Structure 1
Amino acid sequence: MNTDLGTFTVRALDPSPTSRSGSSGSGSMSDAELVHSWVTHPKASFWLMGDARLQDVEREYMAIAATPHHDAFIGLHNGEPAFLMERYDPAEVELKGLYEAEPGDIGMHFLVAPTDTPLHGFTLAVITTVLETLFADPSVRRVVVEPDVRNTAVHALNKAVGFEVLREITKPEKTALLSACTREQFHAARAGEAR
């Protein structure tokens, strides 16, 4: 996706300890090392991995790579790693048994890398890129998310791109605000943003 802020793309996350991201900004860090630095940062408290060791992150993302129901991606801004994106089948993981899944549902998580030089509108551009990536699959009809009820910044961001709150749900690790965004809701929000 090209925006006033630059180009946003995604690529598959390689969780193996020997992989190297190959970008100049992250030096010779593996994807797991990069993600570890993001998820353990205080700004990522809702990711619930603040105390994770590098081995924990490697193990988590190796497990994600091994399941057919969950995928992880590194998001790039102008070619540099800038965010984490996960896509999952909510009928099989994360929300299994907690809501009535509909055909074409896909679950999503995203995390913007911490920075000392924030750009206005950057996180909105990231979530827009994430949704465009998910809706690029014609089988996806609705994106479902389950952010922590206390994560008011993400609730506002979700609303800005078309998510509608369905209800609160209780998960083992948190009380979440189950929300969904159809392709039509996303396009309507984007059209309103362009005005």
Structure 2
Amino acid sequence: MSTATTRAIGTFAFRPLDPLADAELVHSWVTHPKAAFWMMQDHSVADVRRDYAAIAAHPHHDAFIGLHDGEPAFLMERYDPSKAELVGLYEARPGDVGMHFLVAPTDTPLHGFTRAVITAVMAELFRDPATERVVVEPDVRNEAVHALNAAVGFEIVERIAKPEKDAYLSVCTREQFLAAVGAAR
């Protein structure tokens, strides 16, 4: 588990998601109306447990609970896009890492929190020196995440058709990330 502190927001850390222990918590996040683009609105707790057990068993896909000041506050998935999620949909390069993130719903939003989360997620992914680019595939309709992605250095490469959605394949190199957030750090 690693930690990072973002000015005025607090400390972020990551721990592996435990499909059994975390299923109820994650279920409350992925079925919330604000998580519509996560496409798990109709999932039961058992469905969430099953889906995350499959991720835990997958050799090229991992899920993490993100902690804010020690409390669960977001979800991050990391995957090898040449072996999961994007197989056959783009030309993967060595050093590409796929990512999904979801901020937990809250009744007391903290200004700048979601941007701090994606910044912490990207920093965590780039902590691995083998990571050259982060690759994402958000739904084309998810304007909020497109703005967040741009804020941390992502560029849209192309529109792709996945079985479950039309998405903007977007990439961010380490250099793009550092240039985008350099002034904010």
TM-score using structure 1 length: 0.91
- State the partner residue of 2:11: 7
| Structure 2 counterpart SS, 1:185 | helix
Q: Distance in 2 between matches of 1:45 and 1:178?
A: 19
Q: Distance in 2 between matches of 1:148 and 1:142?
A: 19
Q: Distance in 2 between matches of 1:35 and 1:62?
A: 12
| Structure 1 counterpart SS, 2:15 | strand
- State the partner residue of 1:145: 136
- State the partner residue of 1:121: 112
Q: Distance in 1 between matches of 2:58 and 2:38?
A: 20
Aligned-residue offset at 1:190? 1.1
- State the partner residue of 2:26: 35
Match of 2:53 among 55, 62, 69: 62
| CA RMSD between the two structures | 0.7
Q: How does 1:90-109 map to 2 (within 5 A)?
A: 90-109=81-100
Percent identity for Structure 1 against Structure 2: 71
Write the deviation string for residues 16-39 of structure 1: whole angstroms up to 9, x where unpaired: 2xx3xxxxxxxxxxx111000000
Tell me, which stretches of 5 or more residues in structure 1 are unaligned? 20-30
Tell me, which stretches of 5 or more residues in structure 2 are unaligned? none
Write the deviation string for residues 61-96 of structure 1: whole angstroms up to 9, x where unpaired: 000000111000000000000000000000011100
Q: Distance in 2 between matches of 1:11 and 1:139?
A: 20
- State the partner residue of 1:25: none
Q: Distance in 2 between matches of 1:62 and 1:193?
A: 36
Number of residue-to-residue matches in the alignment: 181
Runs of 4+ in 1 over 6 A off after TM superposition: none
- State the partner residue of 1:23: none
Q: Distance in 1 between matches of 2:155 and 2:167?
A: 14
Q: Name the aligned partner's letter for residue 188 of structure 1.
A: A
- State the partner residue of 1:87: 78
Aligned-residue offset at 1:193? 3.4
